Chain A
């Protein structure tokens, strides 16, 4: 029954990503549209915007949430694709473990980066 749990989490992670990544896409790639409507950030990848966002608790927390959900969702999907290629049991176990380690490692790095920039207050230098 463990496979059921992994799959249900995959669906929930997808729902979380839909909301958070949708928001992220709005800010990053529909900024002109938002600008016309008078809200949001213009020039979202200019240093001022990036570091201003990084220092807001809302963005720090949601970035970490998005990172975790997206890593789980993406790596689980990729693992499924590999499993469906008829692999020996040893290869399946290896993939499960290595993907878990890679996912945890990337999550740790991303969380560290988010918290570091939040605390460092680089934007004050601008």
Chain B
């Protein structure tokens, strides 16, 4: 009857991971952190096998390097570098805040509420700026300086 006919498919699902509506900056930071982590993991597993070609000596290493010398792979590697810069700096912020530091102290809630998320905002902005700086340096090394 009515009891069994609840509409059950009301989850935000994976759209919820990406934001699901008008949400704050840290929500998108979380989604990007997961995306960059997956990208780095995929690259890393291939990297173990590519660097493993050193076992065959200089020739096998050089063959592997020649295979990946195209601009397509260079751009892919640049993307991995960007992902690393973001993931590492955001990771620093997460390591600090998920251990309960930099979030302020419990206090009586008085409107407008200053939540722990607002408290760690300066740290969030600082790591994002640092990540951007590292990305710029990396970009210079990959594409500008010869």
Contacts and interface: CB of A to CB of B under 8 A. Distances in A.
Tell me if chains A and B make direct contact, with any CB pair below 8 A: yes
Contacts, number: 78
A120 B95 CA distance: 40
Interface stretch (B21-29, B49-57, B105-113): B49-57
Interface of A: 11, 14-15, 17-18, 21-22, 25, 29-33, 45, 47, 50-51, 54, 67, 70-71, 74-75, 77-78, 81, 106, 109-110, 113, 116-117, 120, 122, 125-126
B91 A18 contact: yes
**Max chain A C-beta neighbours (<10 A), residue from B34, B92, B141, B142:** B141
Interface of B: 34, 37-38, 40-41, 44-45, 48, 51-52, 54-55, 57-58, 61-62, 65, 81, 84, 88, 91-92, 95, 98-99, 137-138, 140-142, 145
A21 B81 CA distance: 11
Nearest to B40: A74
B41 A77 contact: yes
A50 B65 CA distance: 11
B44 A45 contact: no
B145 A32 contact: yes
Q: Do most interface residues of chain B lie in helix, strand or loop, or is the interface mixed?
A: helix
Contacts of A81: 34, 38
B95 A15 contact: yes
A54 B53 CA distance: 13
A33 B137 contact: yes
B44 A70 contact: yes
B91 A14 contact: yes
Given A74-B37, A81-B34, A106-B45, A30 B138 contact: yes
A75 B45 CA distance: 10
Contacts of A32: 140-141, 145
Nearest first, the 7 closest Cβ-Cβ pairs linking A and B are A32-B145, A74-B41, A113-B52, A117-B54, A47-B58, A29-B141, A110-B48
B48 to A, nearest CB: 5
Nearest to B49: A109
A25 B84 contact: yes
14 contacts: A11-B99, A21-B88, A25-B84, A29-B142, A30-B138, A32-B141, A45-B65, A77-B41, A78-B37, A106-B45, A116-B55, A117-B55, A125-B58, A126-B58
